[in-house]
Amino acid sequence: MRWTFLSNLYFCFDRSFEREHASVLAGRIRYQFGDSLSEEGHLYRLRRNTHRLEKGLVSRPRKPVFAKEYIAETVVSFIKLQGCELHAGLDISATLQWASDVLSQYFLATENGNDSEIALQRELFEKVPSVNARNDQLKAPKKRDLTPLSFNVEDMLQLAIRRRSIRWYQDRKVCRKSIDRAVEIAGYSPSACNRQPFEFRVFDDSDLITRLSSIPLGTRGFSHQFPVFIVVIGKLRAYPLARDRHVIYIDASLAAMALEFALELQGISTCSINWPDIKDLERKMAEEIGLEPDERIVMCISAGYPDPDGLVPYSQKKSIEELRSYNQL
């Protein structure tokens, strides 16, 4: 407790965390306006609660009645988002179809629980016209595909060894289809409550790359020849509570690693570029790419076809013994 008090006192004068504080507050405001959720707040709440319902549906043993504390708000968000057009014309139809299928399975699983609140929410849900407009594939819990994969752990090890931080690239355009394929794969990375609070801002225009890639520290001397420059952004608007402020870094980093592996498999090398919290650089990048107040840069990535004559640092990795322990308290 003593250190908590002293640290609170210290950071009244040290402003190192002020940008994070401001972004967390901006995210909470973006999530909820006054007593009402914003449209984005409804979207993130629906994604989170739909995932929570799925966890309840796959529980063993499954309870006859569950999710009573949040089923009403889930149905409210589902209804609110019908016909909703979010900014930038984002298509949320896949999310709504997923939520619809999971809610249908939920109400089917709890119909014998004889709970009046759940019965009321079932009635409200079934009045939504889109509920009966099913597609061919049910987006709800199912048994896992156990078909053996065509590659094994040794193949994965070779991919991990092959993927290095490459700083020198060929003067060759990277096909957007290859980048999009990698982003699609990155989108399957685990994410807390499936909210996926991140975005890959991809730049392949040489003038924009020149302007942006020189902003991070550590790119001096080689940023001028990046074929692709990616800024990974976390969105704090996905969370109503400050306790989740670090999740953007976890989820975005998991996705970024998958992105880099997916690019490597297509012959496209990458370099992860550190983004320390430096006030002037934060402001400059935010102004250049138009960041919202709740958006935080997680990292940057360069990408391109590797120059066969370029050298690569050896970068000795830690041994298994240094990285792992079992049952150590």
pLDDT tens, position by position, 82-140: 987 665 567 898 999 999 999 999 999 999 888 999 999 999 999 998 766 666 688 99
Q: Give the percent of the chain with pLDDT over 90.
A: 77
For the stretch 251-304, pLDDT in tens is 999 999 999 999 999 999 999 999 999 999 999 999 999 999 999 999 999 999
**DSSP per-residue codes, 165-208:** B---B-S-PPPHHHHHHHHHHHTTS--GGG---EEEEEE--HHH
Residue 234 in domain: yes
d(CA 305, CA 75): 47
State the CATH number of the domain containing residue 213: 3.40.109.10
Beta strands in 139-294 (DSSP E): 198-203, 228-235, 269-273
Check whether residue 159 and residue 80 sit in a common domain.
no
Which residue range forms the structural domain that includes residue 99?
A: 19-132
Return the half-sphere exposure (C-beta side, CA atoms, 13 A cut-off) of residue 146. Answer: 2
How many domains does one find in the chain?
Answer: 2
Provide the token pair at 129: 């016209």
Sign of CA dihedral 94, 100, 106, 108: negative
Check whether residue 199 and residue 256 sit in a common domain.
yes
Q: Give the percent of the chain with pLDDT over 70.
A: 94
How high does pLDDT run on average in the chain?
A: 92
Count CB-CB contacts under 10 A for residue 55.
Answer: 12
Check whether residue 83 and residue 189 sit in a common domain.
no
For residue 303, what are the β-bridge partners? 228, 270
Residue 317 in domain: no
Residue 270 in domain: yes
* Domain end position, chosen among 132, 161, 193: 132
* Residue 155: φ, ψ to 5°: -65, -40
User: Three-state SS for 160?
Assistant: helix
Residue 286 in domain: yes
Residue 316 in domain: no
Check whether residue 201 and residue 256 sit in a common domain.
yes
Check whether residue 280 and residue 188 sit in a common domain.
yes
Helix axis angle for 39-57 and 18-31, nearest 10°, is: 80
* Domain end position, chosen among 73, 101, 132: 132
